[in-house]
Amino acid sequence: MRAVDIIEKKKKNQELSKEEIDFLLEGYLKEEIPDYQMSSFLMAVYFNNMTKEELTYFTLKMRDSGDTIFFNNLDYYLVDKHSTGGVGDKVTVVLGPILSAVGMATTKLSGKGLGHTGGTIDKFESIENFKFSVTKEELVEIANKTGVGLMGYSDNIVPLDKKIYALRDVTATVDSIPLIASSIMSKKLAIQSKLIILDVKVGDGAFMKTIEDARELSRRMVEIGNSVGRKTIAVLTNMEEPLGYSIGNANEIIEGIEALKGNWSNDLKEVVYEIVYLALKHKGEVETFEQASKIIDNVIANGKALELLKEFIELSGGNGEVVNDYSLLPTPKSVLEVYSNEEGYITKIKAEEIGKAAMVIGAGRATKEDEVDHAVGLLLKKKVGDKVQVGDLIAEIYYNDSKNIESSKNMVLDAFVVGKNKVENIKNILEIIE
């Protein structure tokens, strides 16, 4: 068997056998197949796609290139929620404690942010001395006590994905839907769960800009999960404007804590409640969204979810009192207020532009090697549909270094689109695929 013949076959849009996929991926992992041949194969996939059978086996082969995490002594209904990344996406901060409070547990791998999208690890690491679990034993211990099991990505988990992604990054094949689906699902299947819920962001601030692309990616991922016996649901959610009001790291932790105290932004609440409802429904505990809402309302009102977040932070090395004292979080040296120079109704807030405005002042990474400043970020004072006058405060920029502050301010001003007519409220749950 030769790599060139496998490339030729995929170039002609023919289905690969399991043996051919084995040969290609094992050879690449062992460095017996060079980058230039794998690059050629990836481009063939970009243009010719993969069949359901090919993609499922390709994904399992990726998963099995490294460690898999299964729990023999974690007696919970395990839910793994994954987000494809967005601006202001602090869903995991809020979701984990709520799922635990209603009798389930979160077991998931979390990543760092790159570009204009934030990562869950960066948010939690804004809490002094907080450390994510790095071993299965640490994960199980904390999840057993709190129901929240979050672990950073390890080089030992799906190493083939890391190797192939680095190649995709420099060969213009990052935006291949089957390759994105395989990359995400290989990591989801590497850690045990009863249910995988995929929060697929759609719109300006998301990787998937159109509903058609998001739908296709969701369909492929759900297909992979369900075909190997892991119940998988995709929730397509809006990312035409940032989620919630805070963008950054420490300030997103604050917004997450406030949500667990009942002080929600409507869009964040809608997304979190929908995901918890789907989890409760598939566990068999509720039939309707209204039933799930009452259960969630109760664990917010009685403080159970907030207490579980506090305990999770403490067991992870951080100071749990941060849920009551935000001064324990990093604070910026300066605040720049941004005022509207137009009158009318906000018809759009360009999420990607807001994400970039936060990134250039240090809240995100332009490259994987960049350091994040956990204290900096943005606080939106207006959302789509709000009325504004000239001179109204529309955002605050929290910063430590003034180097890019004017650029950040201009990005914020450009992001706020003002029109004469009030727009309808944005729908945050766009579609469910299962």
Give catalytic residue positions: 82, 161, 168, 183, 187
Helices (H), 263-370: 266-283, 289-301, 304-315, 351-358
Nearest by Cα to 79 from 111, 101, 57, 62: 101
- Tokens 């109760």 identify what position? 298
**What gap in Å lies between CA 332 and CA 178, rounded to an integer?**
41
Amino acid at 242: P
DSSP, collapsed to helix, strand or coil, labels residue 252 as helix
Tally of CB atoms within 10 A around 21: 19
Torsion of CA 43, 46, 52, 57, to 10 degrees: 30
Nearest by Cα to 426 from 393, 387, 386: 386
Query: Three-class SS string for 384-404?
Result: CCCEECCCCEEEEEEECCHHH
Q: Is the dihedral of CA 214, 220, 224, 230 positive or negative?
A: positive
Q: Is the dihedral of CA 344, 350, 354, 357 positive or negative?
A: negative
- Tokens 């009030």 identify what position? 422
CA distances from 232 to 78, 143, 197 (A): 12, 21, 6
Tokens matching residue 292: 């799930």
**What gap in Å lies between CA 18 and CA 16, rounded to an integer?**
7
Report whether 95 contacts 81 (CB < 8 A): yes
